[in-house]
Every structure is written in structure tokens, then in C-alpha cells.
Amino acid sequence: MAMLEGERAAVTASAEAVARPQLDPRTIEAWLEQDEPVAGTISTDYLPRFTYLRPTTLAEAVAVLERHGPKAALMSGGMDLLRELKTRSRPAQPEVVVSLKGIAPPLDYVCAGESGLAIGSLATLRTLETSALVREQYGILAQAAYASRAWQYRNRATIGGDLCQRELCWYSRSSGNAYPCFRKGGEDCFATRGDNRFHAIFGRLICSAVCPSATAPSLAALGARVRIVGPSGGRSVPVEAFFTPRGTVLGSAEIVAEVQVPSPAPGARGVFLKVGVRNKFDPALASVAVLACIEQQVCRTIRIVLGGVSPQPWRAFRAEELLIGERLTESSVARAAEAVVEGATPLSHNGYKIDLARSLVGRALVRLAE
């Protein structure tokens, strides 16, 4: 029997009510007013409440950071910070977020300076990879920026944020601070006896997490420096010294203002190679940046810097010594590649990084010899 029109309408209305239950607006508002999720759960569906400030000068930004101390967090592109806030993975949730987007003049420049390349801390990785100046004269930096992550990430992520982002360790970044490790004021490195597939094989002191920066190895190979501003004025540190076993040298009220890259020596050539978790746009299992001057097939100067294997960009000094004054032959490349992994101390699940680092350096040197 055909259903009457009124009955059909009633059934349809009933089905829609089941499919889209009506929520009491007062219940929603009460849930949003909570500073933290319900006890026992970690929600990543919404950001915690915070005050958003947009200073217009670096001095003003420094003053805000100094005034609020650990309750303030600095934001450039926001790719790392917003994820931290949603997962509640910081030791203490910031009450104030300080954006650098309002600084005037803007810090997103990439230009030739008196002694090399000047990069404002808000220059995006996409800008670096597409800049004709960077591609032609600082190729290994453009290559590292391109291989950092997918293009959506590179469009937002900045050079300053890439240098200052937190370590990529699932224990340190666990939701709700489930693992109070050394970097969070605890007394343990859970990766040492846990899942350490992606952790360090060099330079482990108190923390096994690797340096998260995609561009740091290339910047270190190029001899770049980081210009920092803070309450005491400004200072400049080499990229290699910018990183420490616990993170970076930045004080709580200091800001990365600029990255300064000296002009490469005439005839210098560079190679950047990386192996990611699934592809080159994933975080590095290992990477290498090599910059060398080769004259008449003889290596005059060379810098070899590894990424993804240490809490800091790892300089292969012994391999460099073996190559200075030598031709890049099959035997000299093999000796240098072997020297790169001398002193490695792998953990229980990351011994494969020794072979990976050796192979990447060998491939990079072969390319230079071509």
C-alpha cells in the first residue's frame, strides 16, 4: 500500500533527527569554556585558550617575551607550535602567543648582502627553494628546503621556525606530557630503552632525539650564522653552535632575527642528499650536505655535515681531513665514507643509520667527482 504523504514526511523527519542529533548550545559553550579536556582524555580537536599578541617591532616582541616568561610562546609560521598546542605536549601550556607577522619592516626577505646571503627569519622554505639567488649560489640550501616536507608545509614553514622547532621524538611530543623526559625537566630518556628507530647514533649525552631542522646541515656546510636579538641586545652564533643537546642556545626572551650565509668560495660545489621515513618529504632518517672546492680533480677544501643522526648537525671532521689534498677516487671516497661513521653508538633499533650515513656520504662524494 502506498505510504500517505503525511506518513512519509513524519518518517523522513524522524530519520533526520536520528542522523543529526540536536546539541544543546549551552552544553557546547560549557565544553568550550573548559581549559583542559575531560580528565583521562586528551583532545586534539581544538586549541587551548590563549591571548594572541602581534607586536610591530622586534624590541616590542622581546619585551613581551621577557614580561610573560615561560607563559609566552613565539610563533612565525605556526607549523610546529599549533600542533604542540593541540596535543598539549608542552610541559606548560602558553597563555600568550606572540606572532612575528606584524614586525615592520617584514622579516621575510631573502637578499644579497655585503658578504653573502641575508635571510629574514620569516622567509618561508618555499621562498628559499624557488629563489633564483639561492638556487644559483647556495644550491644545497635550496635543495634542503625543497626536501624538507610537502609543498603545503613549505608554503607556511619559515627558516626561523625550521631552526627553532622542537625535537621530533614521540616520547617528548606525546599528548598530555605522558613521558616527562630530560627535555621537560624529567630524569629519563625513554627512547634509550624504548622505540628508538629514528633517534641519534652520534652525540647522545642526555637526550637521544635528533636535530629536527631540515636546513641546518646545509647551513652548517655553508658556514652560516644565526643573528639573535634579546633583552641584552644582539649576538651572532654559527649554526653548528646554535644547537645544543637540549635544543638551542636561545634564551626565553630571545628571537632569531636573521640567518647570514657567507658567499661560497669561487668554484665551490655542493651536494645535498636525504633519505626520509617513506620518501624525501618525510623527516630525515639521515641527510648529508657537502660543500667542496675541487681544483684539477684535487679536493682543496671540504665540509661534510650530517643531519638526522645527532641532536646537532654532525660535522664529519675525520672524513674531511682524509680528503683534503686528495683526488676523489673510489678508494679515497670509501675511506672517507667509513671515517664518517667512526665513533657511532647506535641504540637497540637504529643501527641501520650507520649504513645509511656511510652510503649517503659516499654517494655525495661520487657526485662531486663527476
DSSP string of 80-149, one letter each residue: THHHHHHHT-SSS--SEEEESTT-SS-S--EEE-SSEEEEETT-BHHHHHH-HHHHHH-HHHHHHHHTSS
Distances (CA, A) of 277 to 197, 274, 281: 10, 10, 9
Q: How far apart are CA 329 and CA 327, in angstroms?
A: 6
CA angle 247–250–255, rounded 5-degree value: 130
Q: Which residues, listed in sequence order, are joined to residue 238 by a DSSP beta bridge?
A: 225
Place of cell 632525539: 209
Q: What is the pLDDT of residue 39?
A: 43
Cα gap 245→311, rounded to integer Å: 6
Number of H helices, E strands in the chain: 14, 14
E strands within the chain? 51-53, 72-75, 96-99, 110-112, 116-120, 225-230, 233-238, 243-244, 247-248, 255-262, 268-276, 284-295, 298-307, 314-315
* pTM of the model as a whole: 0.86
Q: Per-residue b/e over 299-331, b at no fewer than 16 CB within 10 Å? A: beebbbbbbbbbbbbbbbebbbebbeebebeee
Whether 353 is in a domain gets the answer yes
Report the alpha-carbon angle 332-240-319, nearest 5.
10
C-alpha span between 353 and 275 (Å, rounded): 10
For residue 272, what is the domain's CATH number? Answer: 3.30.390.50
C-alpha 288/C-alpha 274 separation (Å) is: 6
The rounded distance, in Å, linking the Cα atoms of 49 and 88 is 12
- Residue identified by cell 680533480 is 297
Cell 624538507 sits on residue = 148
Q: Is residue 53 part of a domain?
A: no
In a domain, 17, yes or no: no
Kindly state whether residue 42 falls inside one of the protein's structural domains: no
Query: How many domains does the chain contain in total?
Result: 1
CA-to-CA dists, residue 195 to 166, 317, 340, angstroms: 19, 30, 25
Predicted pLDDT at 24:
53
Rg (CA), the chain: 25
Q: Is residue 172 within 8 Å of 192, Cβ to Cβ?
A: no
CA distance 106 to 34: 36
User: In this predicted structure, what is the pLDDT of residue 175?
Assistant: 81
Instruction: State the Cα–Cα distance between residues 134 and 110, nearest whole angstrom.
Output: 8
Beta-carbon contacts of 108 under 8 Å, excluding residues fewer than 6 positions away, are 120, 122, 123, 124, 127, 158
Q: Which three cell numbers stand for residue 195?
A: 622505540
What's the pLDDT at 44? 60
In the predicted model, residues of the chain with pLDDT beneath 50 are 1-3, 7-21, 23, 28, 31-32, 36-41
Nearest to 207 by CA among 239, 229, 185, 228: 185
pLDDT at 37: 45
Domain with 249, as residue range(s), is 110-369
Total residues found in the chain within this entry: 370
Q: Helix, strand, coil shares of the chain as percentages rounded to 5?
A: 35, 20, 45
- The verdict on residue 168 lying in a domain is yes
List phi, psi (to 5°) of 202. Answer: -130, 155
pLDDT score at 15: 42
Please answer whether residues 46 and 32 qualify as being in contact, where contact means their C-beta atoms are separated by less than 8 angstroms.
yes
Residue type for position 96: V
Q: Tell me whether residue 204 is in a domain.
A: yes
Contact status, residue 153 vs residue 68, Cβ threshold 8 Å: no
